Amino acid sequence: MNKMLNIGHRGAKGFEPENTLISFQTALDLNADGVEFDVHVCKSGELIVIHDFTVDRTTNGTGAVSDLTLSELKKLRINGSIEIPTLEEVLLLFNKKHFLNIELKGTHTAKLVCDCIEKNVQEDGFAYSNFIVSSFQRDELESVANYNAKIPLGILTQASVEQALEWAEEFSATAIHPHFSLLTTENVALALQKGYQIYTWTVNEFEDIQRVKEFGINGIITDFSDRI
């Protein structure tokens, strides 16, 4: 197996505001191999990197991301001074040695994300293996699988490794992304035997990190990349 990847959760969420350019840069400064982040489509059609369906929790604004245009979103501030980034702005921070886990959080994100990845592969020298697209949402996963089968797909689950493995087979996924509390010696062995990579989330405590490492999985998603 290749080395286990250290993947910053929403960048370096333990240190900086989540899903911001400073958070992603901090994760890299802490020796993360890459980052995980979330995307939605805003009213004017651009891909926005934000976790929630609304801007209320993380910005000084209110309302649904899907009801706000890019120009409206860009006027909002995180922690008083930080802009919400677009997917294109985030990707400019990274290069071909990094691993980028794009979670499809909002609806109708699949095709736009696939097109963005394809552009980076065709024009900017990235490989498909630099990316993995993940989601809890069956419709979005199916859309990626049908639209561009070359893009690695990850099945997120907070409930059942068994269900994730069923969806992984159905959608020809590359990986499963279970919450770390679901991992057992048996289900890890089964997933690896079936040829799937395993990226687990969100592992922050030292004792949990150590336990998860012993499973021999492919990557840990964490708020604290300095702990991996």
Using one digit for the tens of pLDDT, what is the confidence trace for 95-145? 999 999 999 999 999 999 999 999 999 999 999 999 999 999 999 999 999
- CB crowding 139-160: b at 16 or more within 10 Å, else e: ebbbbbbeebeebbbbbbbeee
Q: What number of other Cβ atoms are within 10 A of residue 176's Cβ? A: 28
Using one digit for the tens of pLDDT, what is the confidence trace for 182-192? 999 999 999 99
**Which one of the listed residues 9, 40, 98, 177 is annotated catalytic?**
9
User: 221, 227 in Cβ contact below 8 A?
Assistant: no
Give the separation between CA 44 and CA 65, rounded to whole angstroms. Answer: 10
Domain boundaries along the sequence of the chain: 5-45+85-227
Q: What is the CA radius of gyration of the chain?
A: 17
Told to judge if 179 belongs to the known catalytic residues of this protein, a careful annotator would answer no
pTM of the model: 0.98
Write the CATH number of the domain with boundaries 5-45+85-227.
3.20.20.190
Q: State the amino acid at position 180 in one-letter form.
A: F
Give the separation between CA 75 and CA 129, rounded to whole angstroms. Answer: 34
**Which one of the listed residues 40, 51, 98, 108 is annotated catalytic?**
51
pLDDT band for position 63 (50/70/90)?
Answer: very high
**Above 80 in pLDDT, residue 181?**
yes
User: 183, 205 in Cβ contact below 8 A?
Assistant: no
pLDDT of residue 50: 98
pLDDT of residue 1: 52
**Above 90 in pLDDT, residue 214?**
yes
**Above 90 in pLDDT, residue 2?**
no
Told to judge if 40 belongs to the known catalytic residues of this protein, a careful annotator would answer no
Sign of CA dihedral 17, 22, 27, 30: negative
Tokens standing for residue 116:
């963005």
